[in-house]
Chains A and B, each alone.
Chain A
Amino acid sequence: MSTKGNIHVLGIRHHGPGSARSLLAALEEIQPDVIAIEMMDDKVNMLELLTHEDITPPVSLLLHLKNETKRNILLPFATFSPEWQAIQFAKKQETDIERIDLPYGQMALLDIGEELEKDNEDVLAQLADLAGFENVESWWDHYLEREGQPVEIFRQLQEIMTMVREVAQIRKIDLLREAYMRKRLRSLSSKYENIAVVCGAYHGPVLTKEALGDIKGDNALLKGLKTKKVACSIIPFSYKRLSRISGYSSGVTAPLFYEMLFSEQDNIAEKWLSKAGRVLRDKGFSASVAEVMSGVQLSHQLCHLRDMHLPGLAELEQAVLSTVCHGHEERLHLIIDGAFIGQKIGYVPDELIDSPFIKDFYSKVKSYRLTKYWQTEDPGKESKVKSLDLRKPMHLNSSHFLHQLDLLDINWAVQLEQNNRALGSFHEDWRFEWDIEDEIQLHHQATLGATVQQAAALAVMEKINSPLTLLEAIYLLDKCILAEIDQPVDAILRRLNELTAASEDLHELLHSNIRLIQIAKYGSVRNTDTKAVLKISTRLHAKICNQLPYSCPPMEEDASLAFFRTFSKYYQLILQAQFEGWLEEWLFSLQLLQTHQPVDARVSGFALRILHDQTDLPFEDVYNELVQRLDSVYDPMPQAIWLEGFLYGGGSVLLYNEDLFQGLSKWVENIDDTTFTMVLPILNRTFASYPGKDRQDILRKVRKSDIRQKQQVGTEDQLLAWSESALQDAINKLELN
């Protein structure tokens, strides 16, 4: 093999601050002509992005397949990442730098799925465990990140990794990547004399000059790999997220500590422990300087005991726990964010953003005066709430914008549940809570369109074409109107038509139409043409009225209550909306319902009441029905439920109708005490929903009738108990408010 190049393998740990220091020293010593770095070799401008002057780490590259944002990968960098330092070194020294890892455009197409997610540190973890360390990080800290002759350290590491690889099961993906890296190194070594390879230590042993021999084998491995185009962008990252991520690049448990370890290694124990003390003091605990000093002493003693040069994370953690935290584990948890992880957020200048979508996003954020809510990750403060008055044009526009973001699954702003999100509400409250995830999601969605609105429209189209329930489709329609995106509305309406035809579940239909009626009603507030919506809603109403008489069998208590709530809400909406012909259709359907037994008792009771209120149903019919229903030969429990439905519409009917009152009174009279206690909660609920005045009037009436029927002492007691407990309830309620 005629390679003239000399290859120095510098195996590092991703995000290892000690690795970064040793690497810089080694590069200084080797003075390579070229740095071959383990970064994906796609044809995108990764290195230019990372060497821009105004960038502040932590930042992350975001790679995804073109036109397929779901397959993507994050490559984060912090100041203490060896790769970041290598790239900056190359820039400063004007050394050539080449990426040699298998392109993501090929990796993503391999059928290895989960494998990519797992880390190859499993074997290292075992090794660390055997050596008595809690995790790989402290093992590295102990052995490999200490001071010393840098080149010598890398040589020793190479030896350890050679042994590790002998026992490790090497994953297919790694074999492929290593073959690719060797291929790249071969071509580099024909051009360059002095090559420094910066790669994960695990790959080191197979990237040496000796390992480059097997051209045939490598080519065979790499044969037939498919490639796709990849898009690359750069986004600001945060320490918090760096500590959370796992997978391809190993997560770092304590970024802030690592940064300190990289940039101000001298007196690390003093610096870090005073930081920890400060954080604890901010949380309101006493943490005196004397305690910090004894922490420092303890960490030094621990180092000494463990034959280490510098205290690592484990030593500092134990020292801070025993001294500053007074042995309380909970206090240690309090300082995790402030002293281990840190709150640093990176910065990427605007000019690096080349996507028109992102530019549109930022200009919107600016023009709607939302800048102060974006990119402020401050868990200590309460998230901010902004109120929008939709009658003001700017507020209306920002509302559209925020709803568009919602459709793009960017959860930065969350609309708060309005107490009364009724028709014609002009207000919206939004809570802002920025998280780095939002930034990432933003970049994920960047390929969907040139503006936020376009992208949102496209996102909706994608959703419409996937399996949907009726309610989900209506939710989308609702959202589209709120976000003022018109393009998908036709498609949604078409889809809705299909779905309403297919849906048979009465409860779902009622629910859906409630939303549709609301859209049809308040949509006009937002200058939306709601005729098409009304058309569908009317069709749905017809379907509901058709189905209702046959689809209300007796239900279990919970289901019955839930259904009843929807049912009564629907009725209220019909009354409010006053669409032509709707009420008539509804009443006709209820009449039919009354003749189709068995029907759920509560619904049946309410239906009778509606018919009594809205039609010229003769009073005798109502009375007869009541008497039949409440006949003492039947079980009183369903009777009480029926009554709840019947009396749902308000108590006036009892006040002005002596016969009904007497019928009811007789029913109560016939119930024995035990059964009475059983039905009491239901009656209580019914009467508690009445306005206070109605309740008092009823009580008065009960008392009066009691004078008339003095002989019926039992009845009096029962009725009094019942109405008084309802009263008591009302009083409690008042006091609560």
Chain B
Amino acid sequence: MAKKKAEQLRYNAEVASREELDYLRKEDKKRYKPIGWELSPHAVVEYIMGKKTKDFEITPKYIGSRRKIEVAVATLASNRALLLIGVPGTAKTWLSEHLSAAISGESKHIVQGTSGMYEESLRYSWNYAELLAKGPTENALVPSPILSAMKGGKIARIEELTRIPSDVQDSLIMILSEKILPVPELNMSIPAVEGFNVIATANEKDRGVHELSSALQRRFNMVHMPLPESLEEEVEIVHSRLESLSDLPPKRDKNMIEQIKKLVQIFRELRSGVTSDKQTRFQSPGSTLSSAEAISVMQSALALSENFSKGKLSARDISSALAGTIVKNTDQDKKAWNEYLELVLKKRKDWKDWYEACREDFDL
């Protein structure tokens, strides 16, 4: 990567992976494409899971079960809305962005769900100047991202669906089942163009906050996004994400892999409350410890080591960010982390540097 001037922080999936998408579009002539899709379901799966051919390599966007991805793609191909559920940091948003980019060629029709949301964010609002001047006309209508996606036959994305108040959620029902959006003010309804669909994500830890009504639930196919199955898989996820994310890509040397492995192991053990050899049980902290957190810990560690410790990543670089991630200002987290340090890390001989660094940060 050449040195760049200050640029946009991050590019949309369709921009970042333009080459790959173009390549697939060119190759993907023979297979059946649902109307409104840029790629065949097959090619979408390949785009997500990655593929190597003689002259071209498509990087994997998701590391994990291919079958899950197939279910997600098949859902969208059968014209059903897709709901990705999982604990934070299981690549739900990431996956929804890439699916939209691959299927519609764009991923920009997005609504961020919040608890203070009104129906307008899902339906439409008004340009009041226009409204006052000419009365209710189609021109005065300001479409929501959902409505734009309907009109353009694209995928609309809703983040954190279960944070949206239930009555607001329910305005999706008609959009999903009848594929129209009624505009009573104009005595009309706007139909969706083929190719329109919805991908929503929901946080499992929010379950029960604004549980989907059963009417809405029926209109989604649910795909549960799991935490990475094996240590190796998770290490690979962290590593490859670091490579694509930062300006300071981690070296693929032994030390780096070793340190990532140790970090991921700590996360996995804290999540499950038991050591990887199943010998010791301890209390699990309440904080979310997914691969996403591991990645951000590593990012700050990389910055530290690059700027202050001559580039060789050490336990000390990681430990400071680590404590902040695990201990989210509650006494319980603090107790759990202390217990883990004393019960587990202290006993591991080849983890001495980790124990000492973490201990020091803890005591500060």
- Over the window 201-226 of chain B, the binary record of Cβ atoms lying under 8 Å from chain A Cβ atoms (1 yes, 0 no) is 00000000000001001100111100
Q: Is A298 among interface residues, defined by CB-CB distance under 8 A?
A: yes
Given the interface pairs A305-B73, A305-B77, the reply to whether A314 lies near B221 with Cβ below 8 Å is: no
Task: Tell which of A134, A304, A306, A322 has the most Cβ of chain B within 10 Å.
Answer: A322
Chain A residues with CB under 8 Å of chain B are 132, 134, 286, 288, 290-291, 294, 297-298, 300-302, 304-306, 314, 318-319, 321-323, 326-329
Q: Are A298 and B78 within 8 A (Cβ)?
A: yes
Q: Check if A301 sits within 8 Å of B221, measured CB to CB.
A: no
Q: CB distance A326 to B222 under 8 Å?
A: yes
Assess whether A327 is in contact with B223, with CB atoms less than 8 Å apart.
yes
B217–A326 CB distance below 8 A: yes
Q: Is the CB of B71 within 8 A of A302?
A: yes
Contact of A298 among B80, B83, B224 (CB under 8 A): B80
From 34 to 93 in chain B, residues with beta carbon under 8 angstroms from any chain A beta carbon are 41-42, 45, 66-67, 70-71, 73-75, 77-80, 83, 85
B67 touches A318 (CB 8 A): yes
Q: How far is the CA of A300 from the CA of B80 in the complex (A)?
A: 13
- Give Cα A305–Cα B224 distance, bound, in whole angstroms: 20
- Does B94 make an interface contact (CB < 8 A)? no
| Complex Cα spacing A294 to B80, Å | 8
Q: Which residues on the A side are within 8 Å of B80 (C-beta)?
A: 294, 297-298, 323
Q: How far does the alpha carbon of A321 sit from the alpha carbon of B80 in the complex, in Å? A: 14
* Shortest distance from the beta carbon of B346 to any chain A beta carbon, whole Å: 35
User: What interface size band does chain B fall in?
Assistant: 20 to 34
Residue of B42, B71, B74 with highest tally of chain A CB at under 10 A: B74
Query: Which 3 residue pairs of A and B lie closest in terms of their CB atoms, listed nearest first?
Result: A327-B222, A301-B74, A297-B78
Sample 7 A-B pairs with CB under 8 A, ordered by A number. A298-B78, A300-B78, A301-B41, A302-B74, A318-B71, A322-B222, A326-B217
Taking a contact as CB atoms under 8 Å apart, the answer to whether B70 and A305 are in contact is yes
> B118 in the interface, Cβ–Cβ < 8 Å?
no
Enumerate B121-155 residues with CB–CB distance to A below 8 Å: none
A305 & B221 in contact (Cβ 8 Å cutoff)? no
Known: A304-B77, A306-B70. 19 other contacts (CB 8 A): A132-B66, A294-B80, A297-B78, A298-B74, A298-B75, A301-B73, A301-B74, A301-B77, A302-B71, A304-B41, A304-B74, A305-B41, A305-B42, A314-B67, A318-B71, A321-B224, A322-B75, A322-B221, A326-B222
* Interface: B32 (CB within 8 A): yes
Query: B residues within 8 A CB of A134?
Result: 67
CA separation between A323 and B75, bound complex, in Å?
A: 9
Could you tell me the distance between the alpha carbons of A98 and B45 in the complex, rounded to whole angstroms? 50
A322 to B42, CA, bound (A): 19
Contacts of B223 in A (CB 8 A): 322, 327
A693 to B67, CA, bound (A): 72
**Which A residue's beta carbon lies closest to that of B85?**
A327
Residues of A within 8 A of B224 (CB): 321, 327, 329
Q: Residues of B contacting A294 with CB < 8 Å?
A: 78, 80, 221
> Judging by beta carbons under 8 Å apart, are B218 and A290 in contact?
yes
| Alpha-carbon distance A294/B45, docked complex (angstroms) | 21
Tell me, rounded to whole Å, the shortest Cβ–Cβ distance linking B214 to chain A.
Answer: 6
- A305-B74 in contact (CB<8A): yes
Residue of B nearest to A306 (CB): B70
**Chain A hits for B32, CB < 8 A:** 304
Query: Cβ of A291 and Cβ of B77 under 8 Å apart?
Result: no
Quick check: A323 and B77 within 8 Å, CB to CB?
A: no
What is the bound-complex CA distance between A306 and B77, given in angstroms? 13
Q: A302: which B residues are within 8 A, CB to CB?
A: 70-71, 74
- Nearest residue in A to B69 (C-beta to C-beta)? A305
Among A304, A305, A321, which residue has the most Cβ atoms of chain B within 10 A?
Answer: A305
Complexed CA–CA distance, A164 and B362 (Å): 57
- A298, A328, A329: residue with the most chain B Cβ atoms closer than 10 Å: A298
Across-interface contacts of B71 in A (CB, < 8 A): 298, 302, 318-319, 322
> Within the complex, what minimum Cβ distance (angstroms) separates A319 from chain B?
8
Q: Which residue of A lies closest to B214 (CB)?
A: A286
Residues of B within 8 A of A290 (CB): 218
A301 vs B37: C-alpha distance in the bound complex, in angstroms?
A: 15
B163-218 contacts to A (CB < 8 Å):
214, 217-218
Most buried by B among A319, A326, A329: A326
Q: Which B210-252 residues have C-beta < 8 A from chain A? A: 214, 217-218, 221-224
A298 to B217, CA, bound (A): 16
Alpha-carbon distance A260/B214, docked complex (angstroms): 31
CB–CB A301/B218 < 8 A? no
Task: Tell me if B77 and A288 are in contact (CB < 8 A).
Answer: no
Chain B nearest Cβ from A605, distance in angstroms:
43
Q: Across the interface, do A288 and B41 meet the contact criterion of CB distance under 8 Å?
A: no
Chain A nearest CB, measured from B52 CB (Å): 15
- B67 to A301, Cβ gap below 8 A? no
Q: Flag if B218 contacts A298 (CB, 8 Å).
A: no
- Output the nearest chain A residue to B202 by Cβ-Cβ distance: A327
Residue ID in chain B nearest A323 by CB atoms: B221
Q: In chain B, what residue has the closest Cβ to A297?
A: B78
Q: How far is the CA of A399 from the CA of B71 in the complex (A)?
A: 57
**How far is A213 from B70 in the complex, measured between Cα atoms in Å?**
49
Contacts of B70 in A (CB 8 A): 302, 305-306, 318
Contacts of A132 in B (CB 8 A): 66
Known: A305-B77, A322-B75, A327-B83. A298 touches B42 (CB 8 A): no
Inter-chain CA distance A690–B222, complex, in Å, is 62
**Bound: A328/B85 CA distance, A:** 10
- B66: nearest residue on chain A (CB-CB)? A132
Write the nearest CB–CB distance from B169 to chain A, whole angstroms: 15
- Expressed in whole angstroms, the minimum distance between the Cβ of A303 and any Cβ of chain B is 9
Task: For A305, list chain B residues within 8 Å (CB).
Answer: 41-42, 45, 70, 73-74, 77
Closest to B177 in A: A290
For B45, B71, B75, B83, which residue has the most chain A Cβ atoms within 10 angstroms? B71
Q: From B68, which residue of chain A is reached at the shortest CB distance? A: A318
- Bound-state CA distance A321–B42 (Å) is 21
Which residues of A have CB within 8 Å of B67? 134, 314, 318
Which residues of the other chain, B, contact A322 by a CB distance below 8 angstroms? Answer: 71, 75, 221-223
In the complex, the chain B residue whose C-beta lies closest to that of A296 is: B78
CA distance A585 to B184 in the complex (A): 102
Q: What separation, in Å, do the CA atoms of A305 and B46 have in the docked complex?
A: 11
In the complex, the chain B residue whose C-beta lies closest to that of A299 is B74
Report the bound CA distance from A134 to B229 in whole Å. Answer: 15
Instruction: Report which residue of B80, B85, B221, B224 has the largest number of chain A beta carbons within 10 angstroms of its beta carbon.
Output: B221
Distance of A288 from chain B, by nearest CB (Å)? 6
Given the complex of chains A and B, what is the CA–CA distance between A300 and B223 in angstroms? 17
Taking the nearest CB of chain B, how far is it from the CB of A292, in angstroms? 11
